[in-house]
Structures are given as structure tokens and as C-alpha cells.
A and B are shown apart, each in its own frame.
Chain A
């Protein structure tokens, strides 16, 4: 069965620094998709970035990038030059793309606080 684990419950960083949030996953499928979503203090949940398992290069969108380490079943989210408005809960999620479960499975989330 697929599983997504985020062990960091909360992280605090100073503004304009770089932060990495960890996520490890379990799957029996050779093809899968990994996602990061952000939940703001208002409760809004938005998609940030995606990594396809068959791609070797790490995905990058704006000041978000991923550290995809397939042998370690790890997909870290890196935020560079953090801003106050990056304070939020970040969820890692996975969907199997082959014959496995089609459902999107979420981790428990990491609360990021960016301090001025």
C-alpha cells in the first residue's frame, strides 16, 4: 500500500533564508507522481509543484524546487529566499500512475513559520 510520511511537524526560519521540508513515500508502483500543496492560515489549499517519477531532473517553479532522490524514496521541497507569506502548512502527496491505487494520498503536513 502507498504511504506518505512527513516527519517534521513544524519548522521556523528567518526571512530570506532557504528551507527544506522532508517527505518520504512508499509505493510498489514503478510509475508515480509526487505533489506539494500549501495550506495558508485562511485554510486555502493550493497546488505548488509536481515531480513525475520517470523524470530525472528536479522540478522547479518560481522559488520552489524539489530534491527528488528516487533510491531513497524521498521528495524534499526547497523554498529559497523565504518570505513572510510563505508561512503555511505544506503537504506532500503521491499518486501511483500504473496499476496501483489511483487515489492521491497526503502526508500529515509540515507547519512552516517564517520570521522577520
Chain B
């Protein structure tokens, strides 16, 4: 069974603070993704990665950075958090290919005050 683990599950941050969301996968998948989920918008892609050392911008990358130091780990970094970044964040992994199925983590609920 595919396993994608996100930490923390919940996070409260202050405006202007730095936030790091972590994701670990034990599937040995090449690809990893960060999405945010907001009511009425579904899931929107922030950053993704093809493998260790690579990061690519998704549809809404502004205000976010990503880091993929290894096959297993993919982090999302908010250098200067803003209230508009309050959301639920999901990490996912998948095997490279157009028919790729994604395996999602349980999500991180971030509140920026």
C-alpha cells in the first residue's frame, strides 16, 4: 500500500513567519506534488518535482518555495506567511507517466493569523 505522510497535521503561524510543511513517501515514486485546497477551487497545484534535486512551479507558486532533497522527501516552504495562505495543503506522489495515479497524504491544515 502506497504511503505518503505529511507533517504537521495542523499548524498555526503568524503573519510574516516562516512555515515549512514536510512530506515523506515510501513508494519510491519519482514524482511528488504540493496542492492546496480551498472551498470552490478544488485542488490547485503549487509546486511539483520529478525527482531528487528538482522542483517545478505549478499553477499558483507565488509565495511558496519547494525543496526535494531526496527521493522520499518533499517540503513546501512559506518564507513570509500571509493570511491568504490559510488553507489545507496536500502532498502527493506518483509514478512518472501521463496515466499516472496520485497517492495523497492526509493533508496539513495551515492557519496564518
Interface residues of A, Cβ cutoff 8 Å to B: 6, 31-33, 35, 37, 42-47, 50, 52, 91, 93, 95-97, 102-109
Contact = CB atoms under 8 A, between A and B. Distances in A.
> Which of B35, B58, B92, B101 is packed against the most chain A CB atoms within 10 Å?
B101
A104 B59 CA distance: 10
B101 A107 contact: no
Prevailing SS type, chain A contact patch: strand
B57 to A, nearest CB: 10
Contacts of B82: none
Interface string B20-58: 000000000000010100001111110010000000001
Nearest to A45: B104
Nearest to B58: A103
A44 B90 CA distance: 10
A13 B61 CA distance: 38
B102 A109 contact: no
B104 A108 contact: no
A42 B59 CA distance: 26
